[in-house]
Structure 1
Amino acid sequence: MKNPKVAIVTGAGQGIGLEIARKLLESGSNVILNDLEKSLTEQAVANLVQLGKGAVIGCSGDSASQETIQELIELALTHFGKVDQLVCNAGITLFGSFLDYSREDFLEVTRVNQAGTFFLTQAAARVMKDQPDGGSILFTSSVTAHQSHENLAAYAMSKAAIEMLAKNLVLELAPYRIRLNAIAPGATLTERTTSDPDYASTWSKLTPLGRPARPEDIAEAAAFLLSDAAKHITGQTLIIDGGWTSISPSPYE
């Protein structure tokens, strides 16, 4: 039997991250699953173990901190001896008007979304570069990196930055057979968004395909880009939004 791949997925306690972890398990990978909240991490691991596919190890903590980054890499190496797939999915959204946006909120968004992605990728790439098959890295961006969205200037900036990181690192990491890509989800039905009772109906009207995405829609695309089926794709961003960025109607109009 082929040696299973080993994946690290951050921000995977629920929503898109959890579905990506699930899909990777179903595809044959062993998974190190991270979430900031311990209860979400533990529940996610318990749910995924029931699939009876591969191994799942939980790691709670701030994925932008050096301590958690080191722990994630060490867990992968201690239990499996390698890191084949990395999904930098953890991120935060702090809404606010540009003219009133605080320095504290700006620095926190950039710390988690940009610095967290940068340094976890660096740590994983240092392992992958010595592996015969390199590895595959995926960033979770957003359609807000492509189209203006009110009160999300800092968030949009951070997501555009990690898309450029995926493109820029091709030059340095391709020689080590390390691929980097990003996905940019649009409106998606997650625990966070469905707390708004009007979210589904609003985005069903605004999305050309007639509905917002489900987390599994995003996970299918993520798993493809991480897999060997995409072995000649690197430095790209795939927008998954049901066509919204093609016409970009605002939910505030």
Structure 2
Amino acid sequence: MTANNFTGQVAIVTGAGQGIGFEIAKQIAQQGAAVLINDVSAELVAKAADAICKLGGNCIALAGDAADINFIQQMVDTAVQHFGMLTIAIANAGITLFGDFLEYPVQSLQSVMNLNLQGSFFLAQRAAKQIIQQKSGGSILFMSSVTGHQAHKDLAAYGMTKAGLEMLAKSLVIELSPYQITVNTVAPGATLTERTMEDAGYQDTWSRITPMGRPATVQDVAAAVLFLVSPQANHITGQNIVVDGGWTAVSTSPY
């Protein structure tokens, strides 16, 4: 991908205080986009925005709940106020709550549904309205997961939401293609992040059962995301890219 591929573009990236979201925001800013990043942690997202700016990126932070409809509109409005427009929305924020299906509590299900589905749905809706108003065209991307493709122990609720996001992307092809807005998903497999590395056995386990011999890095996932929201992919919509080192081809259980 060429440098400054995103010059003149304005992006929102949710869940970008660390991990995959931060790497996406950092890379897209380094390639010329102005970026509003979000995280529920004010401290985390402020540090992330500062780090991106120190690397030469044009980035602002907005802390808040990416599942809240009013806050979603605030993100869109703030991006437009600061940068003049909005062309890319990346719904990366999500929550994983493990639990046995037979004992899974209502509160956990509601939390997973609210952020993973409601937050993504309404970010896409509000971003699309802004892009349509501008008549600029643009891109929307949802962060899915391999658990939306393969059953994974204690992740029935989470996997359901991720599969739902892939169907949402397909459905929005009908709604948004007339406005030159692409909608795609990326489904990471096991990925080395600050959170997953807290599990002492994570890297060794997933290196053993992943055909490519290692889990993904955040750079691996970000590369797929940046491609799908770039001009090079402006005729690709309703599609999903799995970034898992071949794991879904064999689906070896980590248990």
CA shift at 1:133, angstroms? 2.9
**One-letter identity of the residue aligned with 1:36:** V
Write out the 4+ residue segments of structure 1 that deviate beyond 2 Å after TM superposition: 130-133
Give the whole-Å Cα distance in 2 for the aligned partners of 1:135 and 1:193.
32
5+ residue gaps, structure 2: none
Q: Residue 245 of structure 2 is aligned with which of 242, 245, 250?
A: 242
Q: Does 1:99 align with 2:96?
A: no
Q: Does 1:8 align with 2:22?
A: no
Q: Residue 223 of structure 2 is aligned with which of 202, 214, 220?
A: 220
The Cα RMSD (Å) is: 1.2
Give the whole-Å Cα distance in 2 for the aligned partners of 1:42 and 1:80.
18
Flag the 1:168–1:201 CA change in 2: closer, same or farther, 3 A.
same
Give the whole-Å Cα distance in 1 for the aligned partners of 2:23 and 2:241.
17
Residue correspondence of structure 1 range 142-153 to structure 2 within 5 A:
142-153=145-156
CA shift at 1:150, angstroms? 0.3
Give the whole-Å Cα distance in 1 for the aligned partners of 2:83 and 2:50.
20
**One-letter identity of the residue aligned with 2:134:** Q
Q: Tell me what 1:179 maps to.
A: 182
**One-letter identity of the residue aligned with 2:48:** A
Residue correspondence of structure 1 range 22-41 to structure 2 within 5 A:
22-41=26-45
Q: Tell me what 2:55 maps to.
A: 51
Whether contact under 8 Å (2:7, 2:33) holds in the other structure is no
Give the whole-Å Cα distance in 2 for the aligned partners of 1:68 and 1:9.
14
Q: Tell me what 1:128 maps to.
A: 131
Deviations 1:80-112 (A, max 9, x none): 121111100000001000000011111111011
Give the whole-Å Cα distance in 2 for the aligned partners of 1:169 and 1:5.
21
Q: Tell me what 1:155 maps to.
A: 158
CA shift at 1:130, angstroms? 2.4
Whether contact under 8 Å (2:41, 2:63) holds in the other structure is yes
Q: SS of the residue aligned with 1:130?
A: helix
5+ residue gaps, structure 1: none
Comparing 143-152 with 123-132, which one deviates more in the overlay? 123-132
**What TM-score do you get using the length of structure 1 for normalisation?**
0.97
CA shift at 1:30, angstroms? 0.4
CA shift at 1:165, angstroms? 0.3
Q: SS of the residue aligned with 2:79?
A: helix
Give the whole-Å Cα distance in 2 for the aligned partners of 1:151 and 1:236.
27
Whether contact under 8 Å (2:30, 2:56) holds in the other structure is no
CA shift at 1:132, angstroms? 3.2
CA shift at 1:76, angstroms? 1.0
Give the whole-Å Cα distance in 2 for the aligned partners of 1:60 and 1:119.
17
Give the whole-Å Cα distance in 1 for the aligned partners of 2:73 and 2:171.
24
Q: SS of the residue aligned with 2:140?
A: strand
Comparing 153-162 with 60-69, which one deviates more in the overlay? 60-69
Q: Tell me what 1:42 maps to.
A: 46
Q: SS of the residue aligned with 1:169?
A: helix
CA shift at 1:3, angstroms? 5.9
**What TM-score do you get using the length of structure 2 for normalisation?**
0.96
CA shift at 1:68, angstroms? 1.6
